[in-house]
Amino acid sequence: MPYYNAITFPVDQFSSFYSGFATYTTFRVKETLAYESPIFWNGFSLGGSYSTRHGNIRSPSRIDDRRIQAVASYQFADKTRLAIGMDDRGNGSGYKDRLYGLTLSHAKGSWSWAAKYEITDTDNPNSFYGDRAQAFNLYSAYYQGKNTYKIMLANVEAYGEAVIHLGIDHRINQDLRLFAEFYQEQETAAMTAKQAGLDGFDANIRGGKLFLVGFRYDLNM
Higher pLDDT among residues 173 and 203, named by residue: 173
pLDDT at 14: 94
Q: What is the pLDDT of residues 185-197, one digit of tens each?
A: 887 666 656 555 5
Residues 50 and 32 sit within 8 Å (Cβ to Cβ): yes
Residue 46 has pLDDT above 90, yes or no: yes
Mean pLDDT for all residues in the chain:
89
Q: What is the mean pLDDT of residues 5-23?
A: 88
Q: Give this prediction's pTM.
A: 0.88
Check residue 208 and give its pLDDT: 77
> How far is 179 from 210, CA to CA, in rounded Å?
14
What does the pLDDT read at residue 209?
Answer: 85
Mean pLDDT of 131-142: 96
For residues 72 and 83, what is the distance between their CA atoms, to the nearest angstrom?
6
Report percent pLDDT > 70 for the chain.
90
55-87: pLDDT as tens digits: 999 988 889 999 999 999 999 987 899 999 999
Name all domains of the chain by residue range, CATH numbers in brackets: 2-217 (2.40.160.10)
Q: Torsion angle, CA of 141/142/148/152, rounded to 10 degrees?
A: -20
